[in-house]
Structure 1
């Protein structure tokens, strides 16, 4: 090659790095979901839709924090709802005892987060040295004990029925967040700008900041080490990384984030009970959402939570409409009976796993790289 050719190559502008189409599609879907959630009170003003939107925000944090464990580090834990419940119970018990003040949220929620951190340290230090199946069993036992305690200590937790409480006046629907010259509540797109809007954006902004924090973790050198541990624990240990230390650290971080998600859920719901924050059914939902979205992607949590939540809340209604529309067709209305919605949810899950074996986000990203 001549000196002139080498000079031409050196002076040629660098080609811009192209983002794979699959990855771009995943980012576009997540961005669209994020915008819908950001404007949910105005796009979907009915009470049920706002409850679904707030639940989606909280569960995105909860599922993404679990993905840090199972997707990025290869840790299988069944105690995630325990940490979620500690944050929720800490906040709600303080609000019930001290009244609807910010001090109750900060101190009660903080106590729940600290309790989650301490338990995570104890479980991590004692159990993360053993094989994965034994660690999973330890976390399952811990979660079961917490569920029993919540049911038995009814003087503090309300037992199986749980309890309701008041939240700060800022989050009350009667609170006028913005008013006009006459003192009336301002309306935007025919939606009153009141305390309910403030409560939703408290949950949305809190969830968004926690998700950004987790994105920062996986983009940091720590995220690379976690993936190395997942792929080959022995090689990571041989290179010089303290595997148990990293596994314990991410287990504690994940527990704290789950507890903070519990605080957000308690403030929004104004009710707490074992079935709402501690049940094993929630743990199963978290697992399904991670698998549907794509393990080890973090952003897949956004897609998995939205799909699963919409199916849980609206599939039954959709089937009812479909059954009425096909009333004259033999057998079909019976198959589309709303009481069979769990059957169709199972079929939908099987199809998603078949066509997206690495989850929706994981499969799209892999296809886009080829």
Structure 2
């Protein structure tokens, strides 16, 4: 059963297996072990970004395609469900219609972009995807009647998914179960299913061909594979997964805005998480996202405690001031890339295969 779920692709490292198991248990029990609003938001963000970063890894890690339009598809999924819920009301039908429309539009645009852009090579393709992403961001701001412009768009969910909904009179394991908890487990369950689906894809014959194209596309073409068709297919699949991640994030936040979806900072975060975790592994998305999101949310608090404890010492209070958290996060990233050039997962797997 476990072999079927993991598609035969086991972590191949005891340390990695333990880390992944801890992350899974953390996400599965977060509403009860960490019931605070901030802690629950961190767990939900991890779930969504695991799907988003893993879908980006399908392109870069398994096919060698560097795309800067990935955040655009994430935004399309988020705006699709937000606009539908805002215009049609907080119904399950509107939610399904918006999600399907967003995913379908993301796949269509991905197909057109890939059809046009994948005929060029390397940096030229990357720059074209960057241009498409920037154009979509500008379009979101221009269509303010539809998207809400700079202010974004807020919306309501069906009653059972709203925080005010209480299915039980008392607490469950000391925690008040409400609609927000239901939304969290919806996000968690869908994210887990999508992750396992992507794991299955990369371990299929299709995934093996993608890796052959990454290693040597001319040789793959020479032995009979139509590499352009495979690249277009994986672009469409990755766009669909990114749009699903956007839908989940919109449902969790009940809000969508340009800075949280289509901003260039979102694309940079995706790239950082993928590199830190390890490209071409899928499991790297889980590790990279968890480390990055936890650092982003709790590094400031940690630095604040260190700064207070170092009062009276020269330079240290200023050096560890919470406002400098980006400096320390950047330093952690540089060290991670230096000591783990193949990512954390790649390093753990290589250490596992090394003779004692």
TM-score (norm 1): 0.91
Residue 324 of structure 1 corresponds to which residue in structure 2? 308
3-state SS in 2 of match to 1:365: helix
Q: Following TM superposition, by how much is the alpha carbon of 1:219 offset from its aligned partner in structure 2, in angstroms?
A: 1.1
CA distance in 2 between partners of 1:196 and 1:21 (Å):
32
Residue 150 of structure 1 corresponds to which residue in structure 2? 140
Residue 334 of structure 1 corresponds to which residue in structure 2? 318
Q: Following TM superposition, by how much is the alpha carbon of 1:20 offset from its aligned partner in structure 2, in angstroms?
A: 9.9
Q: Following TM superposition, by how much is the alpha carbon of 1:62 offset from its aligned partner in structure 2, in angstroms?
A: 0.0
CA distance in 2 between partners of 1:173 and 1:314 (Å):
25
Q: Following TM superposition, by how much is the alpha carbon of 1:113 offset from its aligned partner in structure 2, in angstroms?
A: 0.6
RMSD: 1.3
3-state SS in 2 of match to 1:45: coil
Residue 289 of structure 1 corresponds to which residue in structure 2? 273
For this pair of structures, how many residues does the alignment match? Answer: 346
Is 1:199 paired with 2:189? no
Is 1:115 paired with 2:99? no
Q: Following TM superposition, by how much is the alpha carbon of 1:97 offset from its aligned partner in structure 2, in angstroms?
A: 0.6
Q: Which ranges in structure 1 are unaligned for 5 or more consecutive residues? A: 1-18
Between 1:134-143 and 1:24-33, the stretch displaced more is 24-33
Is 1:88 paired with 2:72? no
Q: Following TM superposition, by how much is the alpha carbon of 1:196 offset from its aligned partner in structure 2, in angstroms?
A: 1.1
CA distance in 2 between partners of 1:241 and 1:367 (Å):
34
Residue 7 of structure 1 corresponds to which residue in structure 2? none
| Structure 2 counterparts to residues 244-255 of structure 1, below 5 A | 244-255=228-239
Q: Following TM superposition, by how much is the alpha carbon of 1:328 offset from its aligned partner in structure 2, in angstroms?
A: 2.6
After superposition, the Cα gap between the structure-2 partners of 1:21 and 1:195, relative to the gap in structure 1 and judged at 3 Å, is closer
Is 1:312 paired with 2:302? no
CA contact (8 A) 1:167 1:270 kept: yes
Q: Deviation string for 1:28-66 (max 9, x for gaps)?
A: 211210110010111111001111110110000000000
Give 1:270's match in structure 2, choosing from 245, 248, 254: 254
Bigger Rg, which one? 1
Residue 239 of structure 1 corresponds to which residue in structure 2? 223
Q: Deviation string for 1:59-112 (max 9, x for gaps)?
A: 000000000000000000000111001110010001001111111111011111
Is 1:214 paired with 2:198? yes
CA contact (8 A) 2:281 2:346 kept: yes
Is 1:229 paired with 2:216? no
3-state SS in 2 of match to 1:212: helix
3-state SS in 1 of match to 2:156: coil
Q: Following TM superposition, by how much is the alpha carbon of 1:355 offset from its aligned partner in structure 2, in angstroms?
A: 1.4
CA contact (8 A) 1:22 1:367 kept: no
TM-score (norm 2): 0.95
CA contact (8 A) 2:11 2:283 kept: no
3-state SS in 2 of match to 1:188: coil
| Structure 2 counterparts to residues 99-110 of structure 1, below 5 A | 99-110=89-100
Q: Following TM superposition, by how much is the alpha carbon of 1:159 offset from its aligned partner in structure 2, in angstroms?
A: 0.5
Between 1:296-305 and 1:351-360, the stretch displaced more is 351-360
After superposition, the Cα gap between the structure-2 partners of 1:367 and 1:22, relative to the gap in structure 1 and judged at 3 Å, is farther
